Amino acid sequence: MAQIDKQYDMHMQAWLNHQVTANKNVGSKDKPKMEPVFKDFKSFFDYEKAIKSLEGPSKPNKSNLTDRQKRMVEAAKILNKKGG
C-alpha cells in the first residue's frame, strides 16, 4: 500500500507540474494571444480555502488530521510563503 501511495504522489506531482504551466488563449482564433491560466500561486492553490475545507463548520481541530495531511499542510505553508 505504501508503494502505491508513493506512486500516487509522484503522478500527482507530475500532473501539478503540467497544470501550473497551462496557458489559455485570450486572443482570437486568427490572432491567438496566450496567457497563463494561473497568474499567481494562490490562484493555483488557495491555502486558506484548503484549510477551511478540512476544518469544516466547527473550529479547527488539527488532531483529526492524518500524519500525511499534516505534512501536506506544512508543505503548503512553506509554498504559500514562497510563492504567494
pLDDT digits (tens, 9 = 90+) for 37-80: 999 989 988 998 888 888 766 555 566 778 788 888 887 777 77
User: Both 27 and 60 in a single domain?
Assistant: no
Is residue 4 scored above 60 in pLDDT? yes
User: What pLDDT, on a 0 to 100 scale, did the predictor assign at position 63?
Assistant: 67
Q: Residue 5: CB partners within 8 Å, gap ≥ 6?
A: 68
Are both 57 and 79 inside the same structural domain?
yes
33 and 45: one domain?
no
CB-CB contact of 59 with 66 (8 Å) = no
Judgement on whether residues 48 and 83 belong to the same structural domain of the protein: yes
- Helices 67-83, 47-55: axis angle to 10 degrees equals 150
Domain containing 22 equals 1-39
Our count of domains for the chain comes to 2
45 and 79 in one domain?
A: yes
* Cβ pair 65, 73 in contact under 8 A: yes
- Do 24 and 57 belong together in one domain? no
